[in-house]
Amino acid sequence: MSDIKRVYAFGAGQTEGNKDMKFVLGGKGANLAEMANMGLPVPPGFTITCQACMEYYNATPPSFPAGLAEEVAEHVAVLQQKMGKTLGDDNDPLLVSVRSGSAFSMPGMMDTVLNLGLNDRSVEGLITKSGNERFAWDSYRRFIQMFSKVVLDVEGDEFENAINAMKMDRKAAEDTDLSAGDLKDLVDIFKGIVSSHVSPAEFPQLAQDGRVVFPQDVQLQLHLAIEAVFKSWMNDRAVYYRKMEKIADDLGTAVNVQAMVFGNMGDTSATGVGFTRNAADGTKEYYGDFLTNAQGEDVVAGIRKTRPIAELAEVLPEAAEELYGVFEILEQAYRDMCDIEFTIQEGKLWMLQTRIGKRTARAALKIAVDMVEEGMITREEALMRIVPAQLDQLLHPQFDTTATYDVLAKGLNASPGAAVGEVVFTADDAESAAAEGRKVILVRWETTPDDLHGMVSAEGILTSHGGKTSHAAVVARGMGKPCVCGAEALKIDAKTRQAVVSGTDVTLSEGDVISIDGTSGIVVLGRVSLVQPEVSGDLDTVLGWADEVRTLGVRANADTPEDAALGREFGAAGIGLCRTEHMFLGDRKAIIQDFILAESNEVRDGALAKLLDVQTGDYLGIFEAMDGLPVTVRLLDPPLHEFLDSPRELEVEIVRAECAGADAGELAAKRRLLAHIDAMAEMNPMLGLRGCRLGIMHPELYALQVEAITRATCQLKKQGKDPRPEIMIPLVSVKAELAVLREECVAVIARVSGEEGVSVDIPIGTMIELPRAAVCADEIAEVADFFSFGTNDLTQTTFGFSRDDIESKFLPRYLERKVLTRNPFETIDDGVAKVVGLGCERGRSANPGIKLGVCGEHGGDPESVSVFVALGLDYVSCSPYRVPLARLAAAQAVLAERASGSDNR
């Protein structure tokens, strides 16, 4: 025996853990122990630690650590003594479940085996003891089906097809209509499926006479099931889920071995999943589904139509009353909404699991606000419970209330929000379509964990079966995807990739466009106009609390009056990045092209005059939308050749013109244009003539932009408005660059304000997006009013990465091999953060009053925001839709620093 403790008991008066041990016992094991400690009815069992799982993987080849098998055997013996039953006994067999449970909830991502301990002998003992032959054979066929799928890797459809064939042959409408004899026949059929689909080379310990036989040794069953749960930690869907949720791969999963209780022993038995509050909208009501005469997988798999938890009192009133009491006990104990799994065996309630329940963003906000009002939690606790990224759900489109449409089908409102897209019937097709830029709705009979990649890629999910606690519903809510479940009118034929809608003459085919509303549970044929929601109600309340706590300002990136207004509506305290290059596109592209290609001063001056006029109009709209708030305008940044046509396309055009016998003068003009464009080409344009270098080489361009900014400011001031522009000069690496351009800008501002007769004060600063600028920030700060760290380019130049290339070429491989742990363009890299920190420190050393911000995409990433708070930045700027996320994340960063005692502000 090893000295390391790897197995912990729970239940029946002997419990060794509690809810604070989730990194040892996993969430499920820790909470089972906690419920047992509270005196709630928990079937006894034991938990194998998460660390044992990682020991398994650290062995070569993967194998149980020394002493684990013996420790498991000891706990099996104790469990048998507690239950007065023996695993595999011929007269009164003990049956157990073997379930996964990591430190963080990963619903449906790992594996479970139920009814373990049944074999050809013990099933007869179960019949004798229970007096219920149908129940015994149903349990045995379920065990073979689940064990074979999870442990032996037999395709689950093989068993479902056999069940459906049996139902057709016996004229049974539901699984529950099959007789004991039918189920006994299914057991034999299932064993045949195992023998024909499992190779003896893969499982030599199960081989007899050259073929695999379903294991009759219950100790071998248990060993293989525990190992299968360990293996499920690294299955594709679990790895994918952890990557999506940013859960570490080295935590491992615990294994919970627990005495079985049975919800499939007749009409006085039931099983279900419930929440202490509504997980979709946060209403204080019991929420969930149950089934009578069923086992737990029936509820989540969507195989049978479930009933709402509120109706349990009509069927089993005494058990329902006890369950509702447990709901209250658990919510008070955990001070949060709880997700609960339960089974009722012949009227007796048993608790199989509890955890803090996953919820939609809408529900998270309402629950947080309600619990504060109820005095259950503080405002600070409420703020820390809301996941900032979840707020994206509330900012997703909804059906336009003025739109008219006919409802094609109805289902359950499983996850709120609306989506429009083409119908696809497989997860792979959803992923492929998304890669092509097409928006799709994934339509399935019911989703499984293997569909996760397609669910991520789809705009929304629609299923014809399953309830509000089915896989599709739970995963969609967690991802913030609109989802409609249980639309039973859809008769889906995955092979033909069509879905017939009962009661209509409509057949949906792949590529047809549909709209779904996960808030109301409706499906519409064709496109429905979508509208953006407003920040109000519980979200307003929570963000108001956040604003009282946070020290970091939050601005929006916006280039149009519409985006500026949206940012302001979402609570932005100004614009941190207004990209002027976007104003030179569309019908204005011809004007900038005239400037670039001008062969005379007259043409060039004419183009500049036109640009001045349109730019002034641009700034008037944006400054007015953000009246009274700062607007940081970045002067022209990209290389000029980006505004010109593709030289290769022009080459093709010339060849075609030559072949068509075009006029010689026309051809000569095109060739001159091609030569001009080619002369502007650079080997590495992103490090070439762009940013401040462009302003130094073409001072007239920056001068016209500064004049437009100043004239717009003066005109609005004359109207009694309060415009607050800031001029940002990009790509500075040398103090002299900023000094020269600042002097030129100041001269233009003075000239224009004199002409307008209005006094203006326009701060001038720079983007820090080159490592040299950060290292020499003390020098540059002497001529800067503010710094804005452009973390997109700063990440590129610090790593030496080209973002356009790395994300499609080698970043996936780097992440897979853990060369990098995350995409540095999504979450700020530690090294890049150190460069930002150096720039802050040196900038403030030379200019203590300098304002410091971030305007890269990292400004809307919650993890990055916490880094920027720790670095002492004044503000971040992000897309308008991520402003609420940044506001909340900034408050959470302050609260986390206070809790750790490291508040450096």
Catalytically annotated residues: 471, 855
Beta strands at 460-463 and 875-878: parallel, antiparallel or unpaired: unpaired
Q: SS3 for 637? A: coil
Rounded Cα distance between 174 and 304, Å, is: 8
Residue 818 is which amino acid? K
Rounded Cα distance between 122 and 113, Å, is: 17
- In three-state form (DSSP H/G/I as H, E/B as E, the rest C), the secondary structure along 869-896 is HHCCCCEEEECHHHHHHHHHHHHHHHHH
Rounded Cα distance between 340 and 686, Å, is: 54
User: Considering Cα of 459, then 464, then 467, then 472, what sign does the dihedral take?
Assistant: negative
Rounded Cα distance between 382 and 9, Å, is: 34
How far is residue 511 CA from its own chain's centroid?
26
DSSP state, residue 21:
G
Please state whether the peptide bond connecting residue 61 to the residue before it is cis, i.e. omega within 30 degrees of 0: yes
Rounded Cα distance between 390 and 521, Å, is: 20
**DSSP H or E run through 792:** helix 791-799
Rounded Cα distance between 135 and 19, Å, is: 34
CA distances from 276 to 285, 468, 759, 817 (A): 7, 14, 61, 41
Q: What six digits make up the tokens of 433? A: 């379509």
Rounded Cα distance between 352 and 341, Å, is: 5
Q: SS3 for 529? A: coil
Measured between alpha carbons, how far apart are the two ends of the chain, in Å?
Answer: 53
Rounded Cα distance between 252 and 88, Å, is: 29
Rounded Cα distance between 458 and 61, Å, is: 38
Rounded Cα distance between 577 and 539, Å, is: 25
Q: SS3 for 802? A: coil
Q: How many helices (H) and strands (E) does the chain have?
A: 34, 35
Contact between 287 and 278 under an 8 Å Cβ cutoff? The reply is yes
In the chain, % helix, strand, coil (3-state, to 5) comes to 50, 15, 35
Contact between 573 and 543 under an 8 Å Cβ cutoff? The reply is no
Which string of b and e fits 124-146 if b means at least 16 CB within 10 Å? ebbbeebebbbbbbbbbbbbbbb
CA distances from 137 to 158, 292, 810 (A): 19, 17, 53
Count the neighbouring beta carbons within 10 Å of the beta carbon of residue 534: 12
Rounded Cα distance between 138 and 184, Å, is: 8
Of 505, 465, 506, nearest to 484 by C-alpha is 465
How far is residue 631 CA from its own chain's centroid?
31
* Residue 204 main-chain phi, psi, to 5 deg: -60, -25
Of 580, 581, 583, 553, nearest to 567 by C-alpha is 553
| E-strand stretches of 276-369 | 287-292, 307-308, 338-345, 348-356
Which string of b and e fits 80-116 if b means at least 16 CB within 10 Å? eebbebbbbbeeebbbbbbbbbbbbbbbbbbbbbbbb
Rounded Cα distance between 26 and 751, Å, is: 69
